[in-house]
Structure 1
Amino acid sequence: MLQFRIVFSFFLMAFLVSCHQPQPRKPVSYQNGSFLDKSLKRNKAILKAEEKAIFKIIENDSSNTYYNSSDGFWYHYVQKNNSDTITPQFGDQVTFTYNLRTFSEDTIYTMAEIGQRKYLMDQQRLMTGLREGLKIMKAGEQVTFLFPSSRAYGFYGDKKRIGSDVPLKATVILKSIKQTER
């Protein structure tokens, strides 16, 4: 009888332990979003300061008419092509030259240093603002763009001459547009 009780007790304990539900584990670390909140506030402050600098440039340049792009940058025409209607579309090959300067007109890269570039629209890597800026240009036009750092090289810079969060001024000459078959 004692052996029966021991065996019965053993099976009862095994049964009770096997019916135990697994307990969820607590996370090792918990993030409350404070990093994202700080980053968002920082980026908003940077953009506000850069837009203030852009508006000052526009205010001091009464000889040009500036346009605000829906993509977050401003621009004015140095040379406009009123006779053409074709702008680059997805897959078109554009040939262009450009330079990059700071808002205080310090040259970062000259047109000669960068050279003539060929670019397949939206199929190759290119600075965000420049990619969107090319889309509003026609062949033969020369446009000066004012890019906040978020539309230029952003937080990382270009790891050469452009540092973190540097707004840029670029003058672009669109030499040609080679349309793809549609």
Structure 2
Amino acid sequence: MRIFIIVIIFLSVAGCKSPEARYPVTQNSGSYIDESVERNKEMIAEEEDYIKQVMGENSSTEYLDSAEGFWYYYNQKSTDSTNTRTPQFGDVVVFDYTISTIEGEPIYAEGEKPTREYAMDKEKLFTGLRQGLKIMKEGETVTFLFPSHKAFGYYGDRDRIGSNKPITARVTLHEIKDEIKQENNN
């Protein structure tokens, strides 16, 4: 009986040892991710250089540089000094837009995309257009030049816009509706 108790004590002490970490058989250094980051930086730099080259060929247009990483110019700018409001989070904006290649070839011509109502930052919309709407006022038409990472990125739009394609979007902002007014109307 004593041997049985000694065996049980021995097994319980031996079973209390802390678990040891298991290490993978092979280890990756992360070089694939580093290489991917470098490829993406090079691709973005090439796209931006190309966009700047296209802008340079059209010297009669005054291009503005956004802090978000795209360029734009006004086709129709609001001259009304009382019209200073830009869309804020939750506001509903009503707008139309067309999409072209950077060279100006139509991808989605006027009328192909329906007039859109969009709740700012509450619905899906490609990054560049979402950021571009935030700088517009009612009645303005602005043409944006977006590098692919601000447009449809790696996947494209899975229809007419391919992978990693910079685009031009011409946007007309018709109306900005307050978030509060929208909630009261529902």
Q: TM-score, with normalisation over the residues of structure 2?
A: 0.87
| 1:87 lines up with 2:91 in the alignment | no
| 1:76 lines up with 2:66 in the alignment | no
Q: Identity over aligned residues, as a percent?
A: 45
Q: Once the two structures are superposed, what CA deviation does each residue of 1:98-148 show, in whole Å capped at 9, x if it has no partner?
A: 111111222111121102111111111001000000010011111110000
Partner letter of residue 122 of structure 2?
Q
Equivalent residue, structure 2, for 1:30: 27
Taking structure 1 as reference, are residues 28 and 119 closer, same or farther at Cα in structure 2, changes over 3 Å only? Answer: farther
Equivalent residue, structure 2, for 1:39: 36
Partner letter of residue 111 of structure 2?
A
Q: Aligned ranges for residues 54-69 of structure 1 at < 5 Å?
A: 54-69=51-66
Instruction: Report the alpha carbon displacement of residue 53 of structure 1 after superposing the two structures with TM.
Output: 1.0
Number of equivalent positions: 179
Partner Cα distance (1:39, 1:53) in 2: 21
| 1:53 lines up with 2:50 in the alignment | yes
Q: Once the two structures are superposed, what CA deviation does each residue of 1:57-112 show, in whole Å capped at 9, x if it has no partner?
A: 22111111111111110000011002111111111111111111111222111121
Calculate the aligned-residue CA RMSD, in Å: 2.1
Equivalent residue, structure 1, for 2:147: 148
Partner letter of residue 54 of structure 2?
I
Q: Once the two structures are superposed, what CA deviation does each residue of 1:7-49 show, in whole Å capped at 9, x if it has no partner?
A: 6985685366335443221135533212211111111011101
Equivalent residue, structure 2, for 1:108: 107
Q: TM-score, with normalisation over the residues of structure 1?
A: 0.88
Taking structure 1 as reference, are residues 93 and 19 closer, same or farther at Cα in structure 2, changes over 3 Å only? Answer: closer
Partner letter of residue 46 of structure 1?
M
In structure 1, stretches of 5+ residues that fail to align are none
